[in-house]
Structure 1
Amino acid sequence: MNLGSIGPRGGTADYDVAVAGFGPVGATAALTLARAGLRVVVLERERRLSDDPSESRASTFHPPTLEILDDLGVAGDLHEVGLVSDTYQYRDRREGLVAHFDLSSIAGDTRFPYRLQSEQRNLVEIIAAELRAMPNVTVAMGTRVTGVEAGPDGAEFTVEPGGRVRARWAIGADGARSDVRAGLGIEFTGMTYPEQFLVVSTTEDFAKLVPGIASVNYISDPVEWLVLLRTPLHWRALFPIPPGADAEAEAQAPAEIQRRLQSIAPLDRDYDVAHSRIYRVHQRVAERFRDGPVLLAGDAAHINNPLGGLGMNSGIHDAAAAAAAILAAEDGDRRAVDGYAETRRAVARDYVRVVTHQNWESLKEQDPGERARHAARMRAIAADPVRAREHLLRATMLAGSRTATGTPR
């Protein structure tokens, strides 16, 4: 892997595939294509990979995602820096445990009947190590796409610092504020949630503080719902906060963070807080996932709320499907890239967006009758082995992952 060498300053460099973005989506696509022997360049606007252990980005890898990564030969290393989570729970702030789900019930459907908790930066670092041994890969850090032209013979990127990159195919995996998507003039329609989300990471062990708690928990409440999950280094809590600068400042105050954590499980001292941040949450899907030889993937193509851990996972599925489509087109099947764009957009629109929004609706439900009915439904599903398996197949993205989601399984 070459670092930061895409050709002479002001000149043009030629590749088979250009990948914009070196997050988990771009990294997966780059490794897949490079393993097939294509000349790949990765353009990453940041100057270095994140090495912040407290960074509160995506951390849940679902079974079909682990299958994709296993086929790439990187799942083993990811497990070494991950935490296996084979159960999760729906809880209520006032009533406690509502439903408990054990992923061992889908052992016949996947070789990974669990979630793996591991920060997304771990996957990127593992793939970067793989790419270093590959002479057909160039990773250009600190290189931003400032212009893109898509034509019948390929794509051409203008990049900063000066230069141009030309490739037969390109994948825009450069995040929610995608320069590739903007350069192609593709609309990114959808909505922004009214509340913001506060994420707090603590080194305190909730497994000792809340008897019987799972490593992933969705906790409903009409006033202050939350998601509580364990990662290899921390427990992480996600809370909603109302919009507005005053509410944002109040939510980040140390005393308010302590109040929220103490409301989960009281301690006779302050919680140790490793990291906290606030972010806005959107549900948006790109108007189209393809413009000629350029395919969009991951957050560049669709973003959603994090409830259920579908964002990074669906993005990695995009990466695998986009790479498979390009390889099929290289072998003469030009319809494959059209199939990618249609299928993956349908998944983002009809599955990921729908499921994550339903999760949000159920957690914040205020009507007592509807809350009781939802709790009764979840208890009934958890108590019925057949319905529980169907629920888990959908929640873990296994349902249709080998067909409807367009992943090359």
Structure 2
Amino acid sequence: MTVETQPTVIIAGMGPVGMTAALALALKGIPVTILETGDDLATESRASTFHPPSLEILKDLGVVDELMESGLKAPGFQYRGHNRELIAHLDMALLENDTEFPFRIQNEQGTLTRIIRRHLEEMPHVTLRYGAPVERVEMGRNCAYVFLPGDGREPSYRADWLIGTDGAGSAVRQSLGIAFEGVTYPERFLVASTTHDFLDDFDDLAYVSYVYDPDDWGVLLRTPQHWRVLFPIDEDESDEAAQHPDRIEERLQGVIALDEPYPVAHSTIYKVHQRLAATFGQGRVLLAGDAAHINNPLGGMGMNSGIHDAHAAVEAISFALAGGDPTQAVETYARVRYDAAAVDVQKNTQKNYEEMRQQDDKERSERKNEMADIAADPVRAREYLLGTSMISSFEKSSRRMRDGLAQANETSPPVPSLQLDARTAS
């Protein structure tokens, strides 16, 4: 079907990134249609950590209070060693002069999407369409044509702008021929959710705790309903063996030995990638979230960087709709958010991965001592927290977006790209 009244913006995907972008656009009075492949919002347990800049964005959208009411406030996080001994506790109260939210909120991403949906459903210029997977996208003159299965040769929609937030397997990205470059880790990750409360087993356990262990590194993460435990899976262990109840029990008993079996609510296995789209913008199409970049989950930066993408994408589109140069808007967004993903997110998540699985005893000991020293020094700890909380990354990205769009308004050269190497990545 060809829609007669064309929406101004189409968003592919109703995950946290797409829904954040939709609400931001709708609050500006911009008509938006959101297309979702599934028959409803996703329910699987995935990202669950919200960093301070994301909370600031969600406050501006009027939904942060609802997210916080149903979530858990994590005022800090920890690094623990082989015997689960405390190495360092990072107190996010040190950021109280840097953000209104000097903490993390632990809540499922599905909670956020449902909160946002309730707001969108009350807006007359918003259309939510389920069972509507994007099959392909074609470029038009100053528009994008969106094709859904079964609608024939005519486009289902002609969009002034399209934001692709349709995940790592993005049909939007693939149909435009945009490469998705990077690597797949040899390990897979097992995530097991248990209703056992680890607070009963450890003194002063933080809701987010990273375990440095050369043989069995991982993460303990509290959500409103469960403790989630992340384990790496060796290359030679099959998915079936790794997810067998006896094997999951063995892994959980390795965290802390109990006299009775662990109550396991659910488990999942997934491959881990570090990948970047060759470009985050083409024509009138912007890529955001997993459609543009995916990385390992250590540090909780994936969903958050996607929410930051959404914020920047709406800024770029709003600039163009207000009369700014659309080409410069796309180029600024694509360059700035690519750099943020490559320099700030992927560099840090890769560093986390390498440090947590460090095999060399000397290197591991030095890193543990360094982390203890950082945690004990308020100045160094604050600087460290500005990075791990994504405050530095978001502030830099926001500044570069503003500068780039201002330069576009003045028909001056756009904001230069960052040099993606070790000399400038720090």
- 1:386 aligned onto 2:379: yes
Q: In structure 1, the residue corresponding to 2:89 is in which secondary structure?
A: strand
1:337 Cα deviation from its structure 2 partner: 2.5
Matched, 1:105 2:91: no
**Alignment RMSD:** 1.5
Cα deviation for residue 243 of structure 1 reads 2.5
Q: 1:86 and 2:52 equivalent?
A: no
* Alignment-derived partner of residue 284 in structure 1: 275
Structure showing greater relative contact order (alpha-carbon pairs closer than 8 Å, 6 or more residues apart): 1
SS of structure 2 residue aligned to 1:404: helix
Kindly indicate whether residue 351 of structure 2 is the aligned counterpart of residue 358 of structure 1: yes
Contact 1:172-1:178 at 8 Å conserved across structures? yes
Please tell me whether residue 192 in structure 1 is matched to residue 184 in structure 2.
Answer: yes
Q: 1:64 aligns with which of 43, 50, 53?
A: 53
Provide the secondary structure at the position in 2 that maps to 1:210: coil
Against the structure 1 CA distance between its residues 407 and 69, is the aligned structure 2 distance closer, same or farther, given a 3 Å change threshold?
farther
**TM-aligned CA deviation for residue 41 of structure 1:** 0.6
The answer to whether the aligner puts 1:239 opposite 2:231 as a matched pair is: yes
Counterpart CA distance in 2 for 1:316 and 1:28 is 7
User: Which blocks of at least 5 consecutive residues in structure 2 are unaligned?
Assistant: 403-426
Q: CA deviation at 1:212?
A: 2.0
Partner of 2:205: 213
- The match for 2:409 is none
Aligned to 1:5: none
Work out whether 1:146 is the aligned partner of 2:139: no
CA contact (8 A) 1:343 1:406 kept: no
Equivalent residue letter for 2:149: E
More strand by share: 1
The structural deviation recorded for 1:209 is: 1.3
What TM-score, normalized to structure 1? Answer: 0.94
Which residue identity lines up with residue 301 of structure 1 in the other structure? A
| Secondary structure of residue in 2 paired with 1:26 | helix
Deviation at 1:151, TM superposition (A): 2.7
> Counterparts in 2 of 1:238-317, with a 5 A limit?
238-244=230-236, 246-317=237-308
Aligned to 2:10: 18
Q: Distance in 2 between matches of 1:404 and 1:49?
A: 29
Determine the structure 1 residue equivalent to 2:363: 370
Contact 1:16 1:39 in 2 (8 A): yes
Shift of 1:101: 0.7
Task: Describe the SS at the equivalent of 1:160.
Answer: coil
Match of residue 215 from structure 2: 223
Aligned to 1:267, what secondary structure does the other structure show?
coil
Partner residue, 2:312: 321
Contact 1:401 1:407 in 2 (8 A): no
Kept in 1: contact 2:84–2:211 (CA 8 A) = no
In structure 2, the residue corresponding to 1:73 is in which secondary structure? coil
Equivalent-residue separation in structure 2 for 1:60 and 1:161 (angstroms): 38
Whether contact under 8 Å (1:99, 1:379) holds in the other structure is yes
In the superposition, the TM-score normalised over structure 2's length comes to 0.91
State the identity %.
50
Q: 1:234 to 1:406 in 2, by over 3 A?
A: farther
CA 1:254/1:190 → structure 2, altered by over 3 Å: closer, same or farther? same
- 1:337-348, aligned counterparts within 5 Å? 337-348=330-341
Aligned-partner SS, 1:195: strand
Q: Deviations over 1:161-203 (max 9, x none)?
A: 4261111111000000001001111000000000000000000
Displaced runs of 4 or more, over 3 A: 9-13, 405-409
SS at match of 2:275: strand
Q: Once the 2 structures are TM-superposed, how far is the Cα of residue 80 of structure 1 from its aligned partner?
A: 1.4
- The answer to whether 1:395 aligns with 2:384 is no
Confirm or deny: 8 A CA contact 1:227 1:239 kept in the other structure. Answer: yes
